[in-house]
Amino acid sequence: MTHPVSYPATLVPDAPATPIERLRIPPGLSGAAGANRARGTVAQISADDDLSAIAAWLARYADAPGTLATYRKEAERLLLWAIMQHGKPMSSLTHEDLLVYQHFLADPQPAWRWVMTVRKKPGRASPDWRPFAGPLSPTSVRHSMTILNAMFAWLVDAGYLAGNPLSLARRRGVKASPRVTRYLTHELWDTVRTTIENLPVGTDRERLHAARCRWLFTVLYLGGLRAAEIASTSMGAVFCRRDATGVERSWIEVCGKGSKTRLVPASDELIAELARYRRAHGLPPTPHPGEARPLLLPLIGHEKPLSRGAIHLIVKEVFRRAAERLRARGPQWHARADVLASASAHWVRHTAGSHMSDQQVDLRFVRDNLGHTSLATTSIYLHAEDDARHQATQTRHRLGWGKPVQ
């Protein structure tokens, strides 16, 4: 249980949580004199308070927008809780304090302060903004504490903290095998596909939106790309080269996490969908080399790349429609509809990996398609392996637009 605390005059006890950039942190809670601050050592960062120290840690992930957003969210939640609810600076938190915080994540109370009440996520400037959408699942709680453990460990290495209060956490004797749970079964994926194929096309805007949804889910599924990778990739990244037998094979050159480049097989189906999408916008079916147009086009206005956040909103809308389609079948479908309603763009990437494995695509090829390890894209010695990967992906990993659902 979290004990009541006396709030400083600058923190109103009955105020809702606010984005950290709008919070007035009094000197006593800034961490400048935190009980766990390193003393007598040469710090490797210039931060003199907790907020600056967190900013220094987050700066390491500036080239990975998805990771940065996730890590910032977890650090902000902890800092807000420490200040607004626990009455301590982050750099004074003990192991016992963090056990209290771990229980808080599973049920953020009081809800009016911590949990959003609106369905659509408001912007950080909105008075309806809150750090949580609801209680975290046990898996999400563990993920949150893992991120915070990494943050505390880095701050110790940087000479900002004297010790890591999470390093005392109980360690399990046997490490469980990792499992991907956020993916869609073939049945749910068919529902998503059918939903997209039945989007309204009565107006020009609806027609372009339907074409964009179909292309976006094609790239997410057949290419296994991350939303951030789609946002940063241009049409000119699609190119052809001949394999050892003279067959033309298409690829997408993608810059992924850590600015690492990889080649993603662009199957005949994916290239046909690209041509279909470009024709919907009145463009030639094939992009020209070096074409700067974004891979995903806005509906109107200049051809400015959509942000990662905008892509997520498009995906969530499709999943919402798919969930409504399932709910309309009757109460027995509601649980599966809830799964669809909770899905995100990254679920499609996991779904692609799962389905490729189901279809017996060599796991080495799945690994390389998804960019789980680096690729030496310039080495001619990898071409034979690349060509085999392309053939396996094209033959066995298909989306099947227009295919009747059984």
pLDDT confidence band for 361 (50 / 70 / 90)? low
C-alpha separations of 292 from 15, 28, 233, 285, 287 in Å = 47, 51, 9, 15, 9
pLDDT digits (tens, 9 = 90+) for 284-330: 999 998 899 999 999 877 688 999 889 999 999 999 999 999 999 99
User: Three-class SS string for 230-241?
Assistant: HHHCEHHHEEEE
pLDDT confidence band for 360 (50 / 70 / 90)? low
The model's pTM: 0.57
pLDDT digits (tens, 9 = 90+) for 247-288: 899 999 998 877 788 888 899 999 999 999 999 999 999 999
For residue 110, cis peptide bond before it (omega within 30 degrees of 0):
yes
User: CA–CA separation, 52 vs 54, rounded Å?
Assistant: 5
What value does the mean pLDDT take over residues 107-114? 93
pLDDT of residue 372: 55
Residues 387, 347, 132, CA angle at the centre, nearest 5°?
145
Q: Which helix (H) or strand (E) holds 264?
A: strand 261-266
User: CA–CA separation, 49 vs 86, rounded Å?
Assistant: 18
Among candidate residues 313, 312, 314, 321, the one with its CA nearest the CA of residue 340: 321
pLDDT of residue 371: 61
Q: Report all structural domains of the chain as residue ranges with CATH numbers, in order of start.
A: 20-34+44-157 (no CATH), 186-396 (1.10.443.10)
pLDDT digits (tens, 9 = 90+) for 202-211: 999 999 999 9
Mean pLDDT, the chain, rounded, equals 84
Among candidate residues 229, 220, 210, 254, the one with its CA nearest the CA of residue 355: 220
pLDDT confidence band for 170 (50 / 70 / 90)? low
Among candidate residues 368, 366, 361, the one with its CA nearest the CA of residue 395: 361
Our CA dihedral for 71, 110, 130, 15, rounded to 10 degrees, sits at -120
**In this model, does residue 97 exceed pLDDT 90?**
yes
User: CA–CA separation, 198 vs 206, rounded Å?
Assistant: 11
Contact predicate 252/267, CB 8 Å: no
What's the start-to-end Cα distance of the chain, in Å? 52
pLDDT digits (tens, 9 = 90+) for 119-145: 777 888 888 899 999 999 998 999 999
What value does the mean pLDDT take over residues 35-46? 88
C-alpha separations of 117 from 16, 60, 127, 132, 277 in Å = 12, 33, 11, 10, 37
Residues 30, 71, 38, CA angle at the centre, nearest 5°?
40
User: CA–CA separation, 245 vs 257, rounded Å?
Assistant: 33
Q: Is 259 left (phi over 0), alpha (psi -120 to 50) or beta?
A: left
**In this model, does residue 386 exceed pLDDT 50?**
yes
Per DSSP, what are the bridge partners of residue 109? Answer: none
